[in-house]
Amino acid sequence: MDCHTPVRWIAYSFASIVITMTACQGPRSTEQSIDLGNHYLEFGEWQKAADTFQPVVQNTPGLWKGEYGYGVAMANLGDLVTARRCLETANDHSPGNLTIITALADVMFRQGDNGQMYQLLRGAGAALGRVEPYLVLGAYAVKLKDDDSAILAYQSAIEVNSGTLRPMTTEPYYQLALLQLRLGNPTEGQRRLRQAYGISAADPRVSQELQSQGVTIDASTAIPPGL
């Protein structure tokens, strides 16, 4: 049993009590249904989540929390068409929501609609000025063995990240370093690792990879971030 198990058991037990009480009180409100549906999503009970969110979507179309919940449930049940329709509706009603964008991108990827998935994530990264959409795009591009798109995605994440007063994450540098090393570009891979080290010397992945590349870690290891 991990350290989170007691907490999850308590949460599950409390939610079960709430469910029972709600059932005794009569029909649930929309917010109660959404809370219950989210509970089912948290514990991976996809069919129960779908059954809970479906009336919300039918009775309150366009409510993004309902559309999102139903979309996620249906995606996990294998109905990607319904999932995409709901997640696109949720995205329309809550633009810029990274949780929705990520879920929608996953459905597009599973459908093989990579062009739309790329467009969605690139647009989100540019509009929000956030690294996360570019990192997700890079990861999908790597899975697709589309190395050029992966490099561009990670470079875009680095550009956004470098626009802050201080770069906040090593992730785009680290992921780009791994990609460059895999592509047989050790000089560029090591450069990106050294940039990542300059952002956070405490990132164990970066230190371990530098050492595996034979790079000495000392006061001269870190170099400035940027493209």
| Residue burial 45-83, b: 16+ Cβ < 10 Å; e: rest | bbebbbebbbbbbeeeeebbbbbbbbbbbbbbeeebebb
Q: What is the pLDDT along the chain (227 residues), one digit of tens a residue?
A: 455 555 454 445 445 544 544 444 567 899 999 999 999 999 999 999 999 999 999 999 999 999 999 999 999 999 999 999 999 999 999 999 999 999 999 999 999 999 999 999 999 999 999 999 999 999 999 999 999 999 999 999 999 998 766 668 999 999 999 999 999 999 999 999 999 999 999 999 999 999 999 999 999 999 999 98
CB atoms within 10 A of CB 126: 13
Instruction: Dig out the tokens for 177 from the structure.
Output: 């370093």
Please report, for the chain, the start and end positions of each structural domain, with discontinuous segments joined by +. Answer: 1-112, 123-227
| Residue (of 5, 36, 13) closest to 23 by Cα position | 36
The number of residues in the chain equals 227
Q: Say which amino acid occupies 80.
A: L
Q: What is the pLDDT of residue 2?
A: 53
Backbone dihedral angles phi then psi of residue 60, each to the nearest 5 degrees: -135, 65
Q: What is the pLDDT of residue 177?
A: 98
Class of domain 123-227: mainly alpha
Q: Is residue 225 a contact partner of residue 173, using CB atoms and an 8 Å limit?
A: yes
How many angstroms from the chain centroid is the CA of residue 196? Answer: 21
Domains 1-112 and 123-227 share a fold: yes
Q: What is the pLDDT of residue 6?
A: 52
Question: What CATH code would you report for 1-112?
Answer: 1.25.40.10
